[in-house]
Amino acid sequence: MKRKVLALLLPFLMPLASLSAEPLKIGYSDWPGWVAWEIGIKKGWFKEEGVETEFVWMDYVKSMEAYAAGKLDAVCVTNGDALVTGATGKPSVAILLNDFSNGNDMIVAKPGIDSFKAMKGKTVALEEGFVEHLLLLKGLEMNGMAEGDITIKNTPTNNTPQVFASGEVDAIAAWQPNSGQALKLVPGSKPVFSSKDAPGLIYDGLFCDMASVKSRRPEWLKVVKVWYRIVAYMEDEKNLDEALAILAERVGVKPAEYEPLLEGTKILSPAAALKVWEKADGLGSIYGSTKVVDDFNVKFGVYKEPLDIAAYLDPTLTKEVLAK
Amino acid sequence: MALSFILPLLIWSIAAYGPWWKVAHQVILSAESSRLQSVYIIGDRLDPTTWGKFTQAIQQDNEEILKARESGQPIPLTARQNKKILRQLHSPAVINGWLTRSQETDDEAIRQVWLKLAAGELKATRRELSDDNIEIIEANAEMLKKSGAVWPTESLLKLLPESSEEVSRPVYLVPPDVVATSFWEGITADRPVSAESSEQGAERKTLLQRYGESWRTIVLGFLLAIIVAVPLGVIAGTFDFFSKLIEPFANFFSYMPAPAFGVVLMAIFGLDLGPKIMLVFLGTLPCAVLTIAKTTRRLDGSLLEAAQTLGANQRQLLLNVVVPGILPNLYNDLRLLFGTAWTWLVIAELLGFKSGLAEVIDTHGRRFQFDIVYPAILLIGLSGFCMDQILGFLSRFFFPWVDQPKQGFMGKISARLMKGMKQKYPGQAEHAASPSSLAP
């Protein structure tokens, strides 16, 4: 009888016993640079490298909330949003950079609005305080416009295509595949500003819990290693069809629709990544870019005090993996 | 009762099938062009202007290719880009039975189809190709033959897009027959729907599996809520002191919308099942406490007096008089509360990892695939409705001594059943009709 009770209880006790070897929990969302993780997941490369990971597919902002709540060990975010999450929720440190946005973040305007300047007095739906907001502010700055020239409607990025299709707003700011959907839903609409106009403003990376990086460094190194396997795999045109099938399925579009997105997200090759990790001013370096974003965030009151940027960036893991 | 369902269905059908919708083009053969900002895929529905621009862009591309070829400086194109041009033939080839669905990227097989079509070895029977496209196929086959086993490095001609004419209803107005088919496919599929449609997610689940997840969430959340609410409600309804202690706060709490606590719940209970159950719990609890307390208070005072006269102490009063006395009304309360619990379900399931039917509604709603969204919504509605009918029906067996208005379809059935039961087991009803059998 006792044994029976124990046997019944065992499944409930198991999670407690295995608590020490919990997998690394990583939140990722629909940005093409992060969807690429799916290749490593589907091909079982994490197991091959000997690291237990659990990738959690979420909406972008929700993944940041989950990270800030301490439910994730790492989260895929842009360098700017890592600062925002750090200032308002929980700090993190980047151990690898996936890509920089090269056009996939865009402001899409409805037919009749042909340039960013023509957006004066119009309304834009975007997720306030996050990466697309930054893009809009950058656009305003580059076009010599003031913050009040455009009215913002706070909208979750995943809902922007529907909001745009409803005709309630004049434009939206979103990343692919959302922005592409918006373009398709509203015939005649076009992008008036995109991250291609400010390359290096938006870097996308894996931002981890600082304590976890310290205590489980060997495991995080393996995660970085898998990422560069994915990069090498994607660089080979032979693998393109298989890769597209995996990526497109994750976000729910057809491979043919996904292929153009690869252009707008510049995955960093090992050499390019090492260059970006060099300390320098300007958007060519992650340090310079993050500094620019930090200034922006303070200027526009996303948070009050400038942050210690160096604490958010840890190039050592990438360098260690790529040095081999 | 039937009429109340037929009328909305009628309105829906008239709206969907009425003659007022314009014509749209549904792509059945696509092409890609750098002149276009979107990639149109088979099944996309385009309005006539966009369709015009689309075909025009491809024609312009082809003209350019031909002009460049004539001038002796053909446009160079990588093997992959040429392969992609040829792949557009895949869909008609599948319909005509020349290729299988999985050969979408089998470039050698696709190439053979092009060559055979040009040579007249294959004849389109089910899906004919336009004359223009036959010409393009012949011209490209020429190029393919010239380059032999390797892929040509100059641009091949693109097939001109073809479309079937469809009624252009607004995307949210899905005709009833499409919803019905989709619903049926959803509940009968034994393996995940939609290798075809774009189901999201690493682990694909069938609609029924998701349905099961939804049930688990709602039942667990609801059970938890009533386990807490019933004792609280009953003592609040019986004793004045507890009423003053519990009810004001429950009343206050019931005004705070449960979804507002979503992020907090995620922070406390993680991302999996925890926050979902707790949201249903929080949404149901205050309302349940108040309703149950009210029901308890409505208990006939003379019963209590009688019991007290007979010398029942407070414990006996509660367990032997109050609880059995309110049971039928409590049952009805729970039935109603279960109905309200369903309203929290959709919000709850979107917390943390999305799950259940709400995930279907959310993800496919974003892609405007309303033919998949409506069945999921219908399923929730049907479940709640049927559950309520069944519980109402069962209450006649549980509490036969309570007068229930006999109306409606289920009512009639149950009345007839009851009659049959009484004939079979005479006396049973009378026996059960003494709930508060006080034996002091």
Please give the structure tokens belonging to residue A70. Answer: 């301490």
B365-417, pLDDT tens digit by residue? 877 778 888 888 888 888 888 988 888 888 888 887 776 655 555 556 666 66
**Cβ neighbours of residue A72 under 8 Å, at least 6 residues apart?**
A25, A26, A27, A56, A63, A66, A209
Interhelix angle A131-142/A286-299, rounded to 10 degrees, is: 80
Q: Which residue has the tokens 């750098």?
A: B34
**Contact yes or no for A227/A267 (Cβ under 8 A):** no
Same domain flag for A316 and A231: yes
Report CB contact under 8 Å: B202, A158: no
Instruction: Tell me, rounded to whole angstroms, the distance of Cα A308 from its chain centroid.
Output: 21
Q: Which residues of B touch A254 (CB under 8 A)?
A: 41, 198
Please give the structure tokens belonging to residue A275. Answer: 């260059």
Q: Is the pLDDT of residue B433 over 80?
A: no
Q: What share of chain B is helix, strand, coil (3-state, %, to 5)?
A: 65, 5, 30
Q: Does A214 touch chain B (CB under 8 A)?
A: no
3 state DSSP class of B241: helix
B235-250, pLDDT tens digit by residue? 888 888 998 899 999 9
Q: Is residue A15, in this structure, part of any structural domain at all? A: no
The more confident residue out of A42 and B309 is A42
Please tell me the predicted confidence (pLDDT) of residue B435. Answer: 45
Q: Is the pLDDT of residue B340 over 60?
A: yes
Instruction: Give the residue numbers spanning the domain of A233.
Output: 24-101+201-323
Q: Which residues of A touch B363 (CB under 8 A)?
A: 252
Please tell me the predicted confidence (pLDDT) of residue B195. Answer: 39
Report CB contact under 8 Å: A254, B198: yes
Q: Cα separation of A54 and B179, whole Å?
A: 36
Q: Is the pLDDT of residue A35 over 90?
A: yes
Please give the structure tokens belonging to residue B104. Answer: 């979408």
**DSSP assignment string, B14-78:** HHHHSTT-EEEEEEEE----TT-SS---TT-EE-HHHHHHHHHHHHHHHHHHHHHHHTT-PPB--
Q: Is the pLDDT of residue B17 over 70?
A: yes
Q: Is the pLDDT of residue A11 over 50?
A: no
Q: Does A30 touch chain B (CB under 8 A)?
A: no
Report CB contact under 8 Å: A162, B352: no
B154-170, pLDDT tens digit by residue? 888 888 888 887 777 77
Report CB contact under 8 Å: B363, A251: no
Please tell me the predicted confidence (pLDDT) of residue B426. Answer: 53
Q: Is the pLDDT of residue B31 over 90?
A: no
Q: Cα separation of B430 and B428, whole Å?
A: 5
Report CB contact under 8 Å: B202, A41: yes
Q: Which residues of A touch B84 (CB under 8 A)?
A: 256
Q: Is residue A181, in this structure, part of any structural domain at all? A: yes
Give first-to-last CA distance, chain B, whole Å. Answer: 47
Confidence bin at B423 (pLDDT 50/70/90): low
**Contact yes or no for B147/B77 (Cβ under 8 A):** no
Q: Would you tell me how many other CB atoms lie within 10 Å of the CB of residue A21?
A: 7
Do strands A24-28 and A53-57 pair parallel, antiparallel, or not at all (unpaired)?
parallel
User: Among partner residues A69, A158, A187, which is closest to B366 by beta-carbon distance?
Assistant: A158
Least confident of A2-16, A28-42, A251-265, B116-130: A2-16
Query: Average pLDDT of A187-191?
Result: 90
Same domain flag for A59 and A208: yes
Confidence bin at A15 (pLDDT 50/70/90): very low
Q: Cα separation of B430 and A65, whole Å?
A: 60
Taking CB atoms within 8 Å and a gap of at least 24, the contacts of B5-13 are B9/B176, B12/B176, B13/B175, B13/B176
Q: Which residues of B touch A158 (CB under 8 A)?
A: 366
Please tell me the predicted confidence (pLDDT) of residue B396. Answer: 82
Same domain flag for A82 and A169: no
Candidates B25, B37, B273, B372, partner chain A, best to mutate (most A CBs within 10 A): B37
**Contact yes or no for A102/A263 (Cβ under 8 A):** yes
Report CB contact under 8 Å: B352, A66: yes
Same domain flag for A310 and A209: yes
Q: Which residue has the tokens 């399931």?
A: B349
Residue B24 CB-half CA count within 13 A: 16
Q: Which residues of A touch B46 (CB under 8 A)?
A: 187
3 state DSSP class of A1: coil
Please give the structure tokens belonging to residue B92. Answer: 């008609």
User: Among partner residues A58, A165, A252, which is closest to B363 by beta-carbon distance?
Assistant: A252
Same domain flag for A184 and A278: no
Least confident of B121-130, B175-184, B185-194: B185-194
Give first-to-last CA distance, chain A, whole Å. Answer: 57
Please tell me the predicted confidence (pLDDT) of residue A135. Answer: 93
Q: Is residue A4, in this structure, part of any structural domain at all? A: no
Candidates A155, A257, A262, partner chain B, best to mutate (most B CBs within 10 A): A257
Q: Cα separation of A262 and B168, whole Å?
A: 32
Q: Cα separation of B229 and B221, whole Å?
A: 12
Q: How far is A196 from chain B (nearest CA, A)?
A: 15
Same domain flag for A216 and A258: yes
Distances in Å between the Cα of A267 and the Cα atoms of A37, A102, A232, A261 are: 12, 10, 10, 11
Q: State the total domains in chain A.
A: 2
* Cα–Cα–Cα angle for B18, B20, B22, rounded to 5 degrees: 120
Search chain A and give the residue with CA nearest B202: A250
Search chain A and give the residue with CA nearest B107: A241
Same domain flag for A240 and A259: yes
Confidence bin at B346 (pLDDT 50/70/90): confident
* Domain-terminating residue out of A157, A181, A197: A197
Q: Cα separation of B192 and A44, whole Å?
A: 22
Q: Is residue A158, in this structure, part of any structural domain at all? A: yes
Same domain flag for A218 and A70: yes
Same domain flag for A46 and A139: no
Candidates A241, A247, A251, A253, partner chain B, best to mutate (most B CBs within 10 A): A241
B54-91, pLDDT tens digit by residue? 889 988 888 888 888 888 888 888 888 888 888 888 88
Q: Cα separation of B96 and A186, whole Å?
A: 33
Maximum CA extent, chain B: 113
Q: Which residues of B touch A161 (CB under 8 A)?
A: 366
Q: How far is B366 from chain A (nearest CA, A)?
A: 7
Report CB contact under 8 Å: B271, A181: no
Same domain flag for A207 and A298: yes
Total residue count of chain A as it appears in this document: 324
Taking CB atoms within 8 Å and a gap of at least 24, the contacts of B197-203 are B197/B369, B197/B372, B198/A249, B198/A252, B198/A253, B198/A254, B198/B367, B198/B369, B199/A252, B200/A250, B200/A251, B200/A252, B200/B359, B200/B363, B201/A57, B201/B359, B201/B363, B202/A38, B202/A41, B202/A42, B202/A57, B202/A250
Candidates A54, A249, A250, partner chain B, best to mutate (most B CBs within 10 A): A249
Same domain flag for A173 and A206: no
Least confident of B91-95, B131-135, B358-362, B401-405: B401-405
Output the domain CATH number for residue A214: 3.40.190.10
User: Among partner residues B50, B84, B271, which is closest to A187 by beta-carbon distance?
Assistant: B50
**B274 CB burial (10 A radius; 0-12, 13-18, 19+):** middle
Q: Which residues of A touch B202 (CB under 8 A)?
A: 38, 41-42, 57, 250
Do strands A24-28 and A171-175 pair parallel, antiparallel, or not at all (unpaired)?
unpaired
Please give the structure tokens belonging to residue A22. Answer: 């919990």
Tell me how many residue pairs between chain A and chain B have CB atoms under 8 A apart.
73
User: Among partner residues B30, B46, B271, which is closest to A56 by beta-carbon distance?
Assistant: B271
Q: Cα separation of B215 and B386, whole Å?
A: 14
Question: B353 - beta bridge partners?
Answer: none
**Contact yes or no for B29/B42 (Cβ under 8 A):** yes
Report CB contact under 8 Å: B267, A159: no
* Domain-terminating residue out of A164, A197, A230: A197
Q: Is residue A2, in this structure, part of any structural domain at all? A: no
Q: Cα separation of B435 and B320, whole Å?
A: 9
Search chain B and give the residue with CA nearest A159: B366
Q: What is the DSSP letter of A196?
A: G
Q: Which residues of A touch B105 (CB under 8 A)?
A: 241, 245
Candidates A71, A72, A110, A246, partner chain B, best to mutate (most B CBs within 10 A): A71
Least confident of A263-267, B34-38, B404-408: B404-408
Same domain flag for A208 and A82: yes
Maximum CA extent, chain A: 79
Q: Is residue A294, in this structure, part of any structural domain at all? A: yes
Q: Cα separation of B267 and B123, whole Å?
A: 62
Q: Would you tell me how many other CB atoms lie within 10 Å of the CB of residue A154?
A: 10
Please tell me the predicted confidence (pLDDT) of residue B438. Answer: 43
Q: Is the pLDDT of residue A3 over 80?
A: no
Please tell me the predicted confidence (pLDDT) of residue B416. Answer: 66
Mean of the per-residue pLDDT values of chain B: 81
In what helix (H) or strand (E) does residue B97 lie, and over which residues does it extend?
none
3 state DSSP class of B371: helix
Handedness of CA B301, B302, B307, B311 (dihedral sign): positive
Mean of the per-residue pLDDT values of chain A: 88
Please tell me the predicted confidence (pLDDT) of residue A46. Answer: 93
Please tell me the predicted confidence (pLDDT) of residue A317. Answer: 93
User: Among partner residues A69, A191, A252, which is closest to B367 by beta-carbon distance?
Assistant: A252
Count of helices and strands (H, E) across chain B: 18, 3
Question: A126 - beta bridge partners?
Answer: A154
**Cβ neighbours of residue B385 under 8 Å, at least 6 residues apart?**
none
* Domain-terminating residue out of A197, A218, A250: A197
pTM score, two decimals?
0.73
Please tell me the predicted confidence (pLDDT) of residue A286. Answer: 94
Distances in Å between the Cα of B310 and the Cα atoms of A49, A321, B114, B302 are: 77, 84, 97, 12
A60-83, pLDDT tens digit by residue? 988 998 899 888 999 999 999 999
Q: Does A210 touch chain B (CB under 8 A)?
A: no
Q: Cα separation of A167 and B347, whole Å?
A: 26
Query: Average pLDDT of B127-136?
Result: 83
A100-151, pLDDT tens digit by residue? 999 999 999 999 999 999 999 999 999 988 899 999 999 998 999 988 899 9
Total residue count of chain B as it appears in this document: 440
Q: How far is A62 from chain B (nearest CA, A)?
A: 8
